[in-house]
Amino acid sequence: MRPDDESRGMALKYLEISGGRPLFGEIQIQGSKNAALPILVSCILSEGTCRIENCPEIKDVEDTLQIMRELGCSTKRSGRTVYVNTSGISGWEIRATEASRIRSSVLFLGALLGRMGKAALPMPGGCAIGSRPVDLHQKALEQMGAVFRNGDQIQAECPLIQGGRIRLPFPSVGATENCLLACVLAKGESWIENPAREPEIDELCGFLNLRGARITRRADGSLRIQGVSRLEPGVWQIQADRIVAGTYLMAAACTGGSLCVSGCSRESLGAAAEVLRQMGAQVQNQEKRWAVAVRERLKGVPYIETRPYPEFPTDLQSPLMTALSVASGRSRIRETIFENRFSTAWELHKMGARIRVEGNLACIDGVRRLRGARIQAPDLRGGAALVLAGLQAEGITRIERTEYIERGYEDICRDLGSVGARIRVVQDAGG
Ligand code: EPZ
């Protein structure tokens, strides 16, 4: 317990993990956070009620729904099905504090410009894994006629979004999504060159096309959008979360055992599966079912770098760091997407990991066993990586700041507990 919390008698919630047990069984994977968020925001582009199925029950989704209610939409959740009725949308200005908490609030910029021709919202939030500017979003939307007003929040207007040719200098996921949301209702034709290729982008395009948009991805990866005058509401089932699935495959790499995860396509987990095979894990994939078997200590990977899809995803870099910290030999990971995404290393040090960070390169000398410790989640994926460390460690590990993990994992205790992990949430009433 941190001294200041103790003195104030604040309730403290943390995860408690008793390590050293291999994982056996199958985990049904939740809907994808990074598909659900842009899909929910895209509901603003049509009048009426959209139904989104397999929508994960996570904090970032709840925050997004709160922002939509503030805009005048009405939302309802029934289990994993979410209904969003946008008929009552009345405003184009977002003040909700949730908007400065999550990164995906920036997507309201493109959707509001597309629907209302105006948008005002705070700078987005998100995990502290880098500076996370929005310059690519602004430059791209300016190429479609949007005019931005400088200030401490994002303000833009564009009475009539013009189609046009946008070239992204970097295949930014969010900037690609914002361009799509802004130009599906534009006048004329738009092209997005060098867009992101993540599966979540194609899922957003699928939902928009189902509702009347006309988006095609050409062989060179660029996106062509023929503007239409209106979109209809629609029904969509969110795909399984490839990052959650990959996290759990890495868990088996840490603990040993035999784990199945279902719901992810071959392409979406291909790069992660390849690394696990390099480490010596047996990985089978049939349709959307992945099985990983780990019978002995895995080997390190001499060098790997994170890259845009379909290469190894930055969101699995922290879980991989944990797996490599208990693999044999020396491994090196270069993080090329975010400039500050090695915070997990400092917490792993407290558990006995041997990791040296030099700029965007982490050098890891594997140890046989980590030791339980009291640690704090530094961000969403780093928090999940520390859970994996606790599963492997000798003794008890206590992870605070679990709110980070709840932003993207529906119930990591439920999921890992169902395959043999000894993990529980502890509410400490404090002093
Ligand atoms: C999305 O973030 C995901 N978030 C991230 O997942 C993911 O790590 C990232 O894409 C990369 O795959 C959601 O989808 C909600 P980017 P986004 O724009 O859109 C720089 C998770 O754990 N950049 O592709 O913010 C940026 O700083 C989260 O689920 C600019 O410089 O990522 C970063 O270095 C974490 N200017 C790089 O590009 C801009 O205007 C990639 O960013 C935009 C981005």
Residue 8's pLDDT is: 52
CB of 173 sitting under 6 A from ligand 1: yes
CB of 303 sitting under 6 A from ligand 1: no
Cα 76 to middle of ligand 1, angstroms: 28
Q: What is the mean pLDDT of the chain?
A: 94
Q: Omega into 310 within 30° of 0, i.e. cis?
A: yes
Hey, whose CA ends up nearest to atom 8 of ligand 1? Answer: 315
Averaged pLDDT for residues 301-320:
98
Cα 132 to middle of ligand 1, angstroms: 7
CB of 136 sitting under 6 A from ligand 1: yes
- How do residues 99-155 score in pLDDT, each as one tens digit? 888 888 899 999 999 999 999 999 888 888 888 889 999 999 999 889 999 888 899
- How do residues 17-66 score in pLDDT, each as one tens digit? 999 999 999 999 999 999 999 999 999 999 999 999 999 999 999 999 99
379 CA closest ligand 1 atom index: 22
Neighbouring C-alpha atoms within 13 Å toward the C-beta of 392: 29
CB of 172 sitting under 6 A from ligand 1: yes
Residue 10's pLDDT is: 63
Residue 387's pLDDT is: 98
Position 5 pLDDT exceeds 50: no
Confidence (pTM) = 0.96
Task: Tell me the two tokens of residue 102.
Answer: 């999550």
Averaged pLDDT for residues 69-94:
95
CB of 307 sitting under 6 A from ligand 1: no
The Cα–Cα gap between 164 and 145 comes to 9
- How do residues 192-204 score in pLDDT, each as one tens digit? 999 999 999 999 9
Lowest mean pLDDT among 127-136, 327-336, 358-367, 375-384: 127-136
Q: Which of 43, 50, 127, 254 is catalytic?
A: 127
Averaged pLDDT for residues 280-297:
95
Q: Which amino acid is at 197?
A: R
Strand ranges inside 47-198, DSSP E: 49-53, 74-78, 81-85, 118-122, 147-149, 153-157, 165-167, 189-193
Verify whether residue 127 is a known catalytic residue: yes
